[in-house]
Amino acid sequence: MKSPIYHRIFNYDTARLPNRHLAVLEEGVNSIDEAYTLTGATIGYPGWGLIYYLLLSHLDQNRTEIIIETGTNYGCTTIILAQAMVDAGCKGRVVSFENDPKNVNIAARNISMAGLSDRVEIIVGDSRSILRQVLKYENGIRSVFLDASHLYNDVLKEFESLLPKLSSDAIVIFDNTYKIADDGEDTRVNGALKTIKVKYGGNLINLEHVSWYTPGLSIWQRVPCL
């Protein structure tokens, strides 16, 4: 693996965050180690703002929206997703998948403190194996954030499980997209995105200076509405 690269900003104005509870969690955090303790070292600033405004601009007030997240972790990005839905004036919920029961408890507490419990459903289990079944009756999903396992096969499996459920104008957001692998190693999210582009086409935007190790955030959309 290549040496760590970090693009997570510390010592910023936490008033910029869309939810006050995140500001409380981020107050005084100056390093990745401190972020691990309080937020699970999730995508952090400026990634939180990027995802928030992206969804705020994409969600449809005239629909009951469902946002899918894999990798709830401590619930901080889940809070951003749910807050965007509330502020966009949409009905609906975030359905988030987490495999670690300990993380589920922490996430549920954070989401409650953020005042968003009524907008979030946490599914306990491995998203790679349960996505299809849980979403069996869902269709027309327009917003997805994939941030569970970052291994090539796992990312591809999640994406392909969700693909039949997506609306034509859906956006899928991927975290940790930087090309981190050396020759012969698992190509991780970066490699999965290259395969998705070849197999399924669509538009792909990559933002390199977001998140921490591994940096990078990408947005995929099959057919833009023009």
How many other C-beta atoms can be found within 10 angstroms of the C-beta atom of residue 139? 11
Question: What is the rounded CA–CA span in Å between residue 84 and residue 10?
Answer: 22
Question: Is residue 225 over pLDDT 70?
Answer: no
Question: What is the rounded CA–CA span in Å between residue 60 and residue 192?
Answer: 29
Least confident interval from 5-19, 86-100, 104-118, 155-169: 5-19
Q: What is the pLDDT of residue 5?
A: 80
Question: What is the rounded CA–CA span in Å between residue 178 and residue 190?
Answer: 6
CATH of domain 14-221: 3.40.50.150
Give the pLDDT band (50/70/90) at residue 7.
confident
> What confidence tens digit (pLDDT) does each residue in 35-89 have?
999 999 999 999 999 999 999 999 999 999 999 999 999 999 999 999 999 999 9
Find the mean pLDDT for residues 133-151: 96
Question: What is the rounded CA–CA span in Å between residue 216 and residue 208?
Answer: 4
pTM comes to 0.96
Domain ranges of the chain: 14-221
